[in-house]
C-alpha cells in the first residue's frame, strides 16, 4: 500500500438530543491507500452509512455532530475545512453511490442532464461539451445507446440501469474516491453481479479508490481487498480480506461469517423429517394458470394491450411441503402468490385449494383460503397498521374468524410465544419495534387463523443477514411443529436452499425448472437456473463472481427499458 489517500483518525460522531450526547460513531480509525477497495460490513444501525456521510460532512440530521477526530484527504483535514472547500470535495474528490437509485435520482430531470450537471459545475464545461462528456460517461457505465438514452427519465429505466445511471452521476465530477452505499442490495442477483463487475471495471479504468458498504459478506468477499467490520458504531475488526475471512478475531465477525447463506446450512436435514407421508391429494393444485393484466389501454388506444405476468404455470403442492419459488423481479412469482390467494385475476387455468376451485366456485374457495391460508409480506413495517398495537392487530384477525372474545388474550399470548416475541409486545406499536420484531409480529398475525398454508413473499428481503437467519429458523421450527405448508418466495437462492425441500424456478412468467432443492442446486438443468446460481456472491473469495453474458435480463443492456412491468408510472 502506498501512502494513504484517505486517513481517518479517531472519528467520533455524537447525537445531541434531550438526554445529552450519545455517541454513534466511536473513534473510528482507518487508512485507505490509492486504488484500494475497502469493504465496510455490518448490520443496519452499525454506523457504516453514517461513517461515509461523516467523511463528506453530510450528516443526515442537524442534531448529529462530529465531536472528535480527523479525516485527512491528501493531507487536508476535512473535519475542519470550510464549507466552500467541502463543496469541491463532495463529488469532486469523493463521489457517492446510494442504495436506492430510484429515490436518489431526480425523477423530473433527464438522466443525461443529471450527469451533465456535475460536469458543468465541477469542471466548468460549456453546455455542449458537458453533454458530450455525459454521453461518454453513459457509454462507460453500460448504456447501449447513450445519445438517445441521455434524454430518458429515471422511471423509464429498470432498477439495474438506474443504478448504472447513479454510478454515472457519481463519476460526473471525476472523483478520486467512490463510496458505494449498498449499491446492489435492491437488485436481483444477476443484476447485482453485473453492477459489481461494472464497479470494479471502472475502478481499474479510472484508478479509483472505492469504499463499498454492504451487509452481504459475499459481495464484499468478491470485490474488495480489505474488509472492515462495524458494529454499534465501532470498528470491531479490519484487515486483509483473506486473513479476515479465514481467521476472524472478533466474535461478531465470526457470527456474520456463519450466518452467511452461501455456507451450507442444515436445511437438508429437515427435508428428511418433513417428508410427508404419501399424501392422498395435493393441498394446492395449479393447472395451466395464466394471469394477464391490461396495460396502457386508453380510451382511444389501438386495441387492448395486455401483459402476461404468469404464463401457463402448473404446480402441485402436497400438505406439509416447503416449496421455494425463486426468480428475479418481474418473473411473475409474486403475481403467482397473489393469484393463489385470489388477489389477482385468473385469466385462464385452474387453482384449487384443498379441493375448492378458485375459478369455478370463487366464493367458497375464497372463504376456505381466507381461513386456511395466510400471507406474510415483504415489508414488515408497511404491512402492519401503525396505529394498532400488535395485540389489537392479532385480536382483529381472531375476532373476524369468530374466536370467542374471552379466549382472545390467551391466544395472543400463545401466538407471541410461538414466534418468539415477549408477551409484552402485545401492547407495542410497530413504530417502537425493529424490522425483525415486526416481521415476527406479521408471522404471528398470519398464524392467528391457524392456517394450513403460509405464503411468504420476499419476507426476509428487507432484513439484515443475522435477522434473516433468525426468521428462517423460525419458519423452519414452525413448519416442523405445526405441519404447515410453506410457499416461500424469494429472489435469494441461498436462503431458499437453506429452508426449502423443493424449489421452483420462474423466469418471465413460466416455470423453467423444479425439483428437490439439493438436486436443482447441484445439477441445474436450465441455463437460467445455472446463471442464477453462479451469480450468488460466494463468501469464498476464490470462487469468482460470474456475471454471465447470457444474462436473463437481455433488456438490461439492450433498450434500457425492462420488458416486465411498467415501472413507477402513475396511472391517473
Partner 1 sequence: MHRYRFVLYRPLQFLPVLLGISIITFVLVRLIPGDPARVLLGSRATPAAIANIRAQYGLDEPLWVQYFYFIGNLGQGEMGKSILYKIDVLRLIATRLEPTLALVLSSVAQSILIAVPLAALAARHRTRLPDHAVRIVSTLGIGFPPFWLALMLIILFSVRLGIFPVSGYGGSLTDKLYHLALPSLTVALSLSAVLTRSLRAAMVQALESDVATAARARGMPESIVFWRHVLPNSLVPTVNLLAVNIGWLIGGTVVVESVFALPGLGQLLVRAIFSRDYMVVQGVAMVFACATVLVNFLADIITVALDPRVKL
Residue 19, SS3?
coil
- DSSP per position, 104-171: HS-TTS-HHHHHHHHHHHHH---HHHHHHHHHHHHHHTT-SSHHHHTT--GGGS-HHHHHHHHHHHHH
The least distance separating partner 1 from the CB of residue 139, rounded to whole angstroms, comes to 20
91 contributes a contact to partner 1 by CB under 8 A: yes
Position 87 contacts partner 1 (CB under 8 A): yes
Residue 151 or 360: the one with the smaller Cβ distance to partner 1 is: 151
Q: Is there binding between residue 88 and partner 1 (CB under 8 A)? A: yes
Q: How far apart are CA 371 and CA 451, in angstroms?
A: 7
Residues 381-440 that bind partner 1 (CB under 8 A): none
The one among 3, 109, 269, 554 contacting partner 1 by CB under 8 A:
109
Distance CA 560, CA 490 (A): 25
Q: Based on the shown chain and the rule CB under 8 A, indicate whether residue 107 belongs to the binding site for partner 1.
A: yes
Q: Is the dihedral of CA 274, 278, 284, 290 positive or negative?
A: positive
| 260 is a contact residue toward partner 1 (CB under 8 A) | no
Q: Is 354 left (phi over 0), alpha (psi -120 to 50) or beta?
A: left
Q: Does residue 183 belong to the site contacting partner 1 (CB under 8 A)?
A: no
Strand extents, DSSP E, 18-60:
20-33, 37-41
Nearest to 180 by CA among 202, 211, 201: 211
59 binds partner 1 (CB under 8 A): no
Closer residue to partner 1, CB minimum distance, 213 or 511: 213
Comparing CB distances to partner 1, the nearer of 79 and 477 is 79
Task: Give backbone dihedrals phi and psi of 469, rounded to 5 degrees, phi first.
Answer: -60, -40
What DSSP letter does each residue of 283-350 carry, written as one string? SEEEEEEEEEEE-S--TT-SS--EEEEEEEEEEEE-TT-EEEEE--TTSSHHHHHHHHTT-S---EEE
Alpha-carbon distances, residue 439 vs 321, 398, 435, 465, 487 (angstroms): 22, 19, 6, 14, 16
Least distance in Å: CB of 345 to partner 1?
22
Stretch that binds partner 1, among 169-177, 276-284, 394-402, 513-521 (CB under 8 A): 169-177
**How many residues lie near partner 1 (CB under 8 A)?**
41
Q: Is 105 in the site for partner 1 (CB under 8 A)?
A: yes
Angle at which helices 267-274 and 465-482 cross, to 10°: 10
Q: Which is nearer to partner 1, 119 or 486 (CB)?
A: 119
All three cell numbers of 228: 472492515
Question: In the complex with partner 1, which residue's Cβ is closer, 432 or 571?
Answer: 571
Contacting range for partner 1; rule: CB under 8 A; set: 224-232, 269-277, 346-354, 564-572: 564-572
Based on the shown chain and the rule CB under 8 A, indicate whether residue 264 belongs to the binding site for partner 1. no
Question: Closer to partner 1 at the Cβ: 14 or 56?
Answer: 56
Interface with partner 1, residue 348, by CB under 8 A: no
Q: If binding is defined by CB under 8 A, does position 462 make contact with partner 1?
A: no
Using CB under 8 A as the binding rule, whether residue 492 contacts partner 1 is answered as no
Q: Which is nearer to partner 1, 1 or 87 (CB)?
A: 87
206 binds partner 1 (CB under 8 A): no
Rounded-to-integer distance, Cα 479 and Cα 268, Å? 14
According to CB under 8 A, which one of 96, 202, 340, 547 is a site residue for partner 1? 96
- Nearer of residues 400 and 569 to partner 1, judged by Cβ: 569
153 binds partner 1 (CB under 8 A): yes
Q: Does 72 bind partner 1 (CB under 8 A)?
A: no
Please provide residue 164's backbone torsions phi and psi, each rounded to the nearest 5 degrees.
-65, -40
- One residue of 100, 347, 389, 559 binding partner 1 per CB under 8 A: 100
> Is position 172 an interface residue for partner 1 (rule: CB under 8 A)?
yes
Half-sphere CA count of 216, side-chain side, radius 13 A: 26
Mutual angle of helices 390-400 and 408-418, in 10-degree steps:
120
> Smallest distance from the beta carbon of 564 to partner 1, in angstroms?
18
Contact with partner 1 (CB under 8 A): which of 95, 183, 261, 524? 95
Interface with partner 1, residue 76, by CB under 8 A: no
User: How many Cα atoms within 13 Å fall on the side-chain side of residue 180?
Assistant: 32
Taking CB under 8 A as the rule, which mask of x and - marks residues 276-315 in contact with partner 1? --------------------x-xxx---------------
Task: Decide: is 561 part of the binding site for partner 1 (CB under 8 A).
Answer: no
d(CA 6, CA 13): 18
Phi-psi region of 163 (alpha: psi -120 to 50; beta: other; left: phi over 0): alpha
C-alpha cell at 381: 413495517
User: Helix 527-534 and helix 189-206: axis angle, to 10°?
Assistant: 50
Interface with partner 1 includes 116 (CB under 8 A)?
no
327 contacts partner 1 (rule: CB under 8 A): no
Distance, in Å, from the CA atom of 49 to the CA atom of 532, rounded to the nearest integer, reads 29
Distance in Å, CB of 97 to partner 1, minimum: 9
3-state secondary structure of 16: strand
Neighbour-count burial for 69-90, b at 16+ CB within 10 Å, e otherwise: bebbbeeeebbeeeeeebeebb
- List the one residue from 29, 80, 103, 127 that touches partner 1 (CB under 8 A): 103
Please tell me whether residue 246 binds partner 1 under the rule CB under 8 A.
no
Report the interface residues with partner 1, using CB under 8 A.
Answer: 56, 58, 60, 86-92, 95-96, 98, 100, 103-109, 117-118, 121-122, 153, 155, 166, 169-170, 172-173, 296, 298-300, 568-572
Amino acid at each position: 500500500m502506498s501512502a494513504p489517500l484517505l486517513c481517518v483518525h479517531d472519528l467520533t460522531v455524537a447525537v445531541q438530543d434531550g438526554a445529552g450526547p450519545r455517541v454513534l460513531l466511536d473513534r473510528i480509525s482507518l487508512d485507505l491507500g490509492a486504488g484500494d477497495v475497502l469493504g465496510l460490513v455490518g448490520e443496519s444501525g452499525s454506523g457504516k452509512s453514517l461513517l461515509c456521510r461523516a467523511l463528506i460532512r453530510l450528516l443526515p440530521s442537524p442534531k448529529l455532530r462530529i465531536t472528535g477526530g480527523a479525516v485527512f484527504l491528501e493531507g487536508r483535514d476535512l473535519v475542519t475545512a470550510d464549507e466552500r472547500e467541502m463543496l469541491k470535495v463532495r463529488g469532486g474528490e469523493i463521489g457517492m453511490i446510494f442504495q436506492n437509485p430510484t429515490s436518489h435520482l431526480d425523477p423530473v430531470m433527464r438522466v443525461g442532464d443529471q450527469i451533465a450537471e456535475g460536469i458543468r459545475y465541477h469542471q466548468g464545461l460549456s453546455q455542449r461539451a458537458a453533454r458530450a462528456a455525459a454521453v461518454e460517461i453513459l457509454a462507460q457505465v453500460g448504456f447501449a445507446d447513450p445519445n438517445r438514452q441521455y434524454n430518458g427519465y429515471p422511471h423509464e429505466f429498470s432498477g439495474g440501469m438506474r443504478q448504472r445511471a447513479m454510478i454515472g452521476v457519481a463519476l460526473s465530477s471525476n472523483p478520486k474516491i467512490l463510496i458505494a452505499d449498498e449499491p446492489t442490495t435492491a437488485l436481483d442477483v444477476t443484476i447485482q453481479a453485473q453492477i459489481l463487475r461494472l464497479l470494479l471495471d471502472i475502478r481499474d479504468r479510472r484508478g479509483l479508490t472505492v469504499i463499498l458498504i454492504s451487509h452481504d459478506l459475499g459481495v464484499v468477499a468478491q470485490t474488495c481487498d480489505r474488509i472492515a467490520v462495524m458494529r454499534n458504531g465501532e470498528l470491531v475488526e479490519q484487515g486483509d480480506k483473506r486473513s479476515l475471512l479465514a481467521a476472524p478475531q472478533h466474535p461478531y465477525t465470526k457470527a456474520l461469517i456463519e450466518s452467511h447463506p452461501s455456507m451450507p446450512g442444515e436445511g437438508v436435514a429437515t427435508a428428511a423429517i418433513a417428508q410427508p407421508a404419501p399424501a392422498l391429494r395435493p393441498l394446492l393444485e395449479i393447472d395451466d394458470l395464466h394471469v394477464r393484466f391490461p396495460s396502457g389501454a386508453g380510451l382511444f388506444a389501438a386495441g387492448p394491450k395486455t401483459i402476461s405476468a404468469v404464463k401457463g404455470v402448473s404446480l402441485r403442492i402436497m400438505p406439509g411441503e416447503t416449496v421455494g419459488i425463486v426468480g428475479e423481479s418481474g418473473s411473475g412469482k409474486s403475481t403467482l402468490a397473489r393469484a393463489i390467494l385470489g388477489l389477482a385475476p385468473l385469466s385462464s387455468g385452474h387453482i384449487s385449494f384443498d379441493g375448492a376451485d378458485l375459478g369455478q366456485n370463487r366464493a367458497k374457495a375464497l372463504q376456505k383460503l381466507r381461513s386456511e391460508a395466510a400471507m406474510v409480506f415483504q415489508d414488515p413495517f408497511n404491512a402492519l397498521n401503525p396505529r394498532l398495537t400488535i395485540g389489537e392487530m392479532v385480536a382483529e384477525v381472531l375476532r373476524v374468524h369468530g374466536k370467542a372474545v374471552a379466549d382472545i388474550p390467551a391466544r395472543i399470548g400463545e401466538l407471541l410465544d410461538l414466534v418468539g416475541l415477549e408477551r409484552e409486545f402485545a401492547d407495542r406499536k410497530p413504530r417502537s419495534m425493529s424490522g425483525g420484531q415486526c416481521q415476527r409480529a406479521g408471522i404471528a398475525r398470519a398464524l392467528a387463523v391457524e392456517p394450513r398454508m403460509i405464503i411468504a413473499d420476499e419476507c426476509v428481503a428487507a432484513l439484515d443477514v443475522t435477522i434473516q437467519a433468525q426468521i428462517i429458523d423460525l419458519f423452519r421450527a414452525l413448519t416442523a411443529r405445526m405441519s404447515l405448508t410453506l410457499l416461500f418466495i424469494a429472489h435469494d437462492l441461498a436462503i431458499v436452499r437453506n429452508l426449502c425441500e423443493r424449489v421452483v424456478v420462474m423466469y418471465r412468467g413460466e416455470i423453467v425448472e423444479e425439483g428437490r432443492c439439493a438436486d436443482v442446486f447441484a445439477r441445474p438443468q436450465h441455463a437460467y437456473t445455472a446463471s442464477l446460481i453462479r451469480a450468488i456472491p460466494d463468501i469464498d473469495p476464490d470462487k469468482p463472481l460470474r456475471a454471465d453474458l447470457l444474462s436473463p435480463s437481455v433488456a438490461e443492456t439492450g433498450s434500457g427499458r425492462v420488458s416486465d412491468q411498467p415501472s413507477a408510472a402513475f396511472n391517473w
